[in-house]
Copies of this chain bind each other. A is one copy, B any other.
């Protein structure tokens, strides 16, 4: 699976570096969202030298090339998670374990119509995020 991402890196002239690979592996091992600082704390155990700006930069680049996506939280900080599905879709977030799951559902056409009818405005984009408890967290 990592190989697929390395290939995407190459396509975008991004080199295959130990830091990038480690970040990809970490993001893949857990399907949860994570902040640059949290990621840095984990990476510091693997690397004697690793700067926080590097973590920020890599996550930004990953987002630009469509490997990761970000979530919106009340605290207005950055949180990323692995998501390379290009198709229009949304995310379900577990408020307890922070796991992120893709939701294959989009009712944008209905919304578009509604905005057109109610407000005579043109809806172009939308952002939907669902929160709750994942299968595991809701049972336990």
A-to-B contact residues, CB < 8 Å? 72, 76-78, 92, 94-95, 101, 103-105, 107, 110-111, 114-115, 118-135, 138
Give the secondary structure class of A's interface: mixed
Instruction: Report if A133-B138 is in contact (Cβ < 8 Å); known contacts: A103-B114, A105-B114.
Output: no
Assess the B126–A138 pair: CB atoms within 8 A.
no
Contact (Cβ within 8 A) B121 A132: yes
Quick check: B122 and A138 within 8 Å, CB to CB?
yes
Given contacts A104-B118, A122-B138, A125-B131, 13 further A-B pairs with CB under 8 A are A72-B127, A92-B119, A92-B123, A103-B114, A103-B115, A115-B132, A119-B134, A121-B132, A121-B134, A122-B132, A126-B128, A127-B127, A127-B128
> What separation, in Å, do the CA atoms of A95 and B121 have in the docked complex?
11
B111 touches A130 (CB 8 A): yes
Q: How far is B122's CA from A14's CA once the two chains are assembled, in angstroms? A: 39
Would you list the 7 A-B pairs with minimal beta carbon distance, nearest first? A124-B132, A120-B135, A123-B132, A76-B76, A126-B130, A122-B133, A122-B132
| Cβ contact of A72, chosen from B72, B105, B135, cutoff 8 A | B72
Asked if residues B115 and A124 are in contact (CB atoms below 8 Å), the reply is no
Give bound CA distance, A134 to B122, whole Å.
6
